[in-house]
Structure 1
Amino acid sequence: MSTRTLKALAPKAAASKAVGPWTPPVPPISPEASVIDIPADQYLHRDAPTDWWWHTGTLTSVDRTFGFEINAASFQGNLGIGFTQISLTDVDNKKHYQSSTPYLPPYQFNGSEWAQFDPTRDWYVRLGNPVNCLSAMVVTQGGSGYTQPPIVNFIGKGLGATGVSVLGSGPTQGQVVDVLLVNPGLGFTEVPRIELVSADGNGSGAKARAIHSYVDMHALWGSTLTNMRVNALLNDAKTGTEVLFQLQFRQKGPPFIVWGTGVQPVANKTGGHLDTNNYYYSLTRLHATGFITLENRVYPVHGVTWMDHEYGGFGTGAGPKWILQDMQLNNGVCISNSVGVTDLGPIQPGQEIKSHATVQMPDGTTYALDSFVRPERPTWTSKDSGKTYFMKLHVRIPAFEAELTVESLVEHQEFFVPGNPVYEGVASVYGMFAGTITSGTAWNEQALP
């Protein structure tokens, strides 16, 4: 498969056309209804329980189509940590690389300083360190017979690093199930080797490896939307394959205000407005250029991608569950369709679920509309989490006579976080909108009960 992948998936009957004269039966949302203030709200909200930025979308090179996600988040009001998720999908070779990395306070994460909060200064969002090559650790063998957590030693050029190991219980009793980096130390110019040493002479066989990963987003003051740079290093959780992203983004057109207003109340929450509301906007016409380095080859890439910024009282514990489809149609329309599924129980193929769509026209006119989503076969079941995800979803938006199908380009696109996995997948979209055939790029996101 080549970079013609997306075009090949589009309907053959007719090319996409610009949206012609169309009067939907509902009025648009007035721009004055938005509570989002750009560029100020592009900055950190220090009192928000959650605050996260993530880039997703499709990038193409000469002989490759890539899907990617670069996500940096603060869960200071929930888990008390910072968190990154980075993925790359090599569509043509059906390969998926992913990692999820926690950053623990106080040495790796400070909820007030990990991102810039002052809108009069240059903007940045940073987790991990591009220079110090120690960001986290992963267990490669659990060993057996341990009665106390083994001591974690770091062997390499650097000093001051500390970590702790965690023993399992039940079926994994006596095994090392996790290793946590407490202090990344200084001066690690290379990724160190990890040594797990029995604390009391009992147990053996546990092994772990260190990884280097980071996310660095930044822009000069006054250019947070027009000259955003994102550098990130992914270390694949299974294979250790490294993927380096060096990307630049320039938004063209107005921001995409989710729900038309940018805010939704959060049920059963008390406190200030950042505790009791969830705020959400996107940049859906980010013209991206840059480079992806994979397996010692540098790929110049380009595309039109999507960034979300969400902050406030998003959720607690394992968080809410949802399905979401983001669509960038070739007629210039952008759509975000989603529904919470926490209380729905198991979702069946062919089950139509009432959802909500935010639709933005090419001129920025925005509608908040009732919609319906119908997950369809085929499905894909993760060997890691056991979750079954839908590779195809049909979205119906009656107000625009829209019948759109979102279809994943590769099946295996899961972030496996024990107890809280999520499917984040590059996709295509095709179908009808406002009486014309259309197609485009899309994103398929599922956090299922």
Structure 2
Amino acid sequence: MRLWMRYMSVWMLAAVGLLLTLLLSSCAFPGMTTTSATLPQVSEQPTKTVLPPIEFPRDEGKHNDLTEWWYYTGHMQATDASGKSHTYGFELVFFQAIRSNLPTVYPAHFAISDITRGEFHYDQRRLTQFVASPSSGGQTAPGIDVHVGDWFVQGLNGKDHLIASMQNYAIDLNLTGLKAPTLHNGNGLITYGLGGFSYYYSRTRMQVGGTLLDHNQPLKVTGTAWMDHQWGNFLSLGGGGWDWYSIQLNNKTEIMLYFIRDASGKTISTYIGYTDADGKAYVLPEQSMKATVLNKWTSPTTGITYPSGWRIDIKDPHLQSTLIIKPLLKNQELVVTNSTGNVYWEGAVGIEGQQKGQPVSGEGYVELTGYTR
């Protein structure tokens, strides 16, 4: 990209700069890592569908809307040749931003939480390229096929292949969805009023297999992943941030939570999505949940203080739970100013508690944005 940009005209460089400004200032939603905006409140009831419903596998791939991303997080285990056990978390995310006839921007982030070593590592990339300009809302071929350099995700019908590498770590993973996709807000369509609309679904439990290269040592890994796919013609409406949680419990149930804050730090929207062991999805009322921060952690790199440990109490006929969530590493902060222009914390967590009177344990990921010094 640098060689190509060297020969771009002055006006094109200005256009790219404008596009990046739009990207970093107008694509802020749970799952999208920027601290410059918040969502309007989401209804607890399924939104009346005024746009085409999600269809699989058609809607797994790229769309021609303003904003889109494919977001993978997960936990992996391995045993090396000496018999030593290893535990990892991983994050791999690809963003797409389309603005008028400007070049399309593809930022990407890759992170490994090496729990065994007690270390967190990440890398970032950004690709800018010209693509054809189909009509808004259109969609290309079914299935996922997104590349940023030699990082990529390809997939169809919930069978996805992930490739990414950085210094000392590389992944070559095959993921298989174990449940039907969960359509958030009941039908997978969330409207934001003046902010626009968003399609949003998750594959809440994906089986992981493949290879992790750890300091040039190839390890066969197994584990469980979570995948989010969100797209639409939506833009941000102000400053703030959010806390987002994906929770996978050992009784084969999953929970997705997020709390959205305005610029003053006040929580303006809460979302509770629950997928039961049979794959049936529910949206629970926000008043059924209470979240309590148990600890805090201050980054030695940025000086930002984040919450670091939570108690989640949910009291609803579908879900009676008390969960203690703890980061598996304190420092899982990404400073990604060269790709998405921001700083955020996203990391692997462990979970203990009870659900409907029975003990449960599990694993998950938490994303924290909008925090400052």
TM bucket by the smaller chain? Answer: 0.7 to 0.9
Q: Paired residue for 2:303, among 386, 411, 419?
A: 386
Matched, 1:262 2:188: yes
Alignment of 1:27-38 (within 5 A): 35-38=53-56
User: Structure 1 residues 110 and 81, CA, compared in 2 at 3 Å: closer, same or farther?
Assistant: farther
Quote the offset at 1:35 in angstroms.
3.4
* Larger relative helix fraction: 2
User: Structure 1 residues 448 and 111, CA, compared in 2 at 3 Å: closer, same or farther?
Assistant: farther
| Bigger Rg over Cα | 1
Cα offsets for 1:390-435 (capped at 9, x unmatched): 1212222210221112211001111113462111100111212122
- 2:257 and 2:54 map into 1 onto residues whose CA distance is 19
The percent of aligned pairs where both chains have the same amino acid is 23
Contact 1:258 1:281 in 2 (8 A): yes
User: Structure 1 residues 260 and 317, CA, compared in 2 at 3 Å: closer, same or farther?
Assistant: closer
Contact 1:85 1:98 in 2 (8 A): yes
- 1:127 and 1:442 map into 2 onto residues whose CA distance is 26
Alignment-derived partner of residue 198 in structure 2: 278
Alignment of 1:216-235 (within 5 A): 216-219=152-155, 223-225=156-158, 227-234=159-166
Q: Note the residue ranges of structure 2 that are not aligned, 5 or more in a row.
A: 1-43, 80-84
Q: Note the residue ranges of structure 1 that are not aligned, 5 or more in a row.
A: 1-26, 131-214, 235-240, 270-275, 348-352
Contact 1:73 1:82 in 2 (8 A): yes
Cα offsets for 1:9-62 (capped at 9, x unmatched): xxxxxxxxxxxxxxxxxx9979x999322211111111x111110110111111
Alignment-derived partner of residue 20 in structure 2: none
Quote the offset at 1:110 in angstroms.
7.4
Alignment-derived partner of residue 307 in structure 1: 227
Any idea what SS the aligned residue of 1:259 has? helix
Alignment-derived partner of residue 348 in structure 2: 426
Alignment of 1:45-194 (within 5 A): 45-46=63-64, 48-62=65-79, 63-77=85-99, 81-106=105-130, 117-119=139-141, 123-128=144-149, 130=150
User: Structure 1 residues 446 and 217, CA, compared in 2 at 3 Å: closer, same or farther?
Assistant: same
Alignment of 1:191-206 (within 5 A): none
Any idea what SS the aligned residue of 1:268 has? helix
Alignment-derived partner of residue 343 in structure 1: 263
Any idea what SS the aligned residue of 1:356 has? strand
The TM-score normalised by the length of structure 2 is 0.75
Contact 1:318 1:420 in 2 (8 A): no
Any idea what SS the aligned residue of 2:59 has? helix
Alignment-derived partner of residue 23 in structure 1: none
Give the AA of the match of 1:94: G
Contact 2:238 2:263 in 1 (8 A): no
- 1:365 and 1:297 map into 2 onto residues whose CA distance is 40
User: Structure 1 residues 88 and 58, CA, compared in 2 at 3 Å: closer, same or farther?
Assistant: same
User: Structure 1 residues 346 and 354, CA, compared in 2 at 3 Å: closer, same or farther?
Assistant: closer
Alignment-derived partner of residue 327 in structure 2: 408
Cα offsets for 1:258-279 (capped at 9, x unmatched): 222212112423xxxxxx1111
